[in-house]
Amino acid sequence: MNPMLFVLLSLPPGAGMEFDAYIQWAESHLSERAGVTREVKGGLIHDWSAEKFIANRRPEQVVKLLQDYDRYREVYPEVTESRLISREGNRFRASLQIKRKKVLTVILNTEYEVDYRALDGGGWRVMSRSTKVEEAGGGDHGFLWRLNSYWTITPAEGGVKVLCRSISISRGVPTGLGWAVKPLVRDMPRESLEAMLAATTKALE
């Protein structure tokens, strides 16, 4: 990637405030399906959800896989490095290096705080919130500023139902560079979510 192609950006304060407000609303409506890219001042909020049924598995098996952060690089195609930083009960801190490639290649060093909550009826709710997103090499092209993921894992007849909702914020698409930037900032959030859920299913089958 040619570093001269883009103006380096940091998360604009207005966009950050709008993202925080959106997250506050979304976390009270996690059971709702989502599929939207929303323009905010200085950026785009991406809110997508996907669902899978995994036969002959229990919620605890899904949770065990999700908590095995040291193994993420073996399970998820976008993760090139992964490690558990710390654990206190059902609260985890994890570090993931993510490689996204579509026209351009972007490598991101990210960290998350993740809460695992048991639900009535044998299900689980997983709330993963990014605490650090840095582009490798010291740049900031704004392909991803924040990334939160929410998993709802519920027992179902013959298996388990897994609903994942991903909410992130990125830069907008600058005039004249849509051919290079648009696939990353508009298409990749949805595609990454679908790939992550597919990899989770495959690892459990």
Residue 142's pLDDT band, with cuts at 50, 70 and 90, is: confident
**Structure tokens belonging to residue 96:** 């993931």
Q: How far is CA 52 from the centre of its chain?
A: 16
Report strand pairing: 124-135 vs 35-40. Answer: unpaired
Residue 58 scores a pLDDT above 90 = yes
Residue 184's pLDDT band, with cuts at 50, 70 and 90, is: low
- Output phi, psi for 128, to 5 deg: -110, 120
Comparing 115 with 181, which gets the higher pLDDT? 115
Contacts of 24 (CB under 8 A, 6+ apart): none
Residue 162 scores a pLDDT above 80 = yes
Residue 5 scores a pLDDT above 60 = no
d(CA 116, CA 36): 26
- Report percent pLDDT > 90 for the chain: 68
Average pLDDT over every residue of 194-203: 96
Residue 153 DSSP symbol: E
- Output phi, psi for 62, to 5 deg: -65, -45
Residue ranges of the domains in the chain?
13-204
Poorest-pLDDT segment among 87-96, 126-135, 180-189:
180-189
Residue 71 scores a pLDDT above 80 = yes
Which of helix, strand or coil describes residue 96? strand
**pTM greater than 0.85:** yes
Residue 82 scores a pLDDT above 90 = yes
DSSP run (H or E) holding 182: helix 178-182
pLDDT of residue 26: 96
Residue 197 scores a pLDDT above 60 = yes
Average pLDDT over every residue of 134-153: 87
DSSP run (H or E) holding 118: strand 104-118
d(CA 87, CA 56): 29
Residue 181 scores a pLDDT above 70 = no
C-beta of residue 8 within 8 angstroms of C-beta of residue 139: yes
Which of helix, strand or coil describes residue 119? coil
State which fold the 13-204 domain adopts: Alpha-D-Glucose-1,6-Bisphosphate; Chain A, domain 4 (3.30.530)
d(CA 162, CA 10): 34
DSSP string, 6-74: S------HHHHHHHHHHHHHHTT-TTS--EEEEEETTEEEEEEEEEEEEET--HHHHHHHHH-GGGHHH
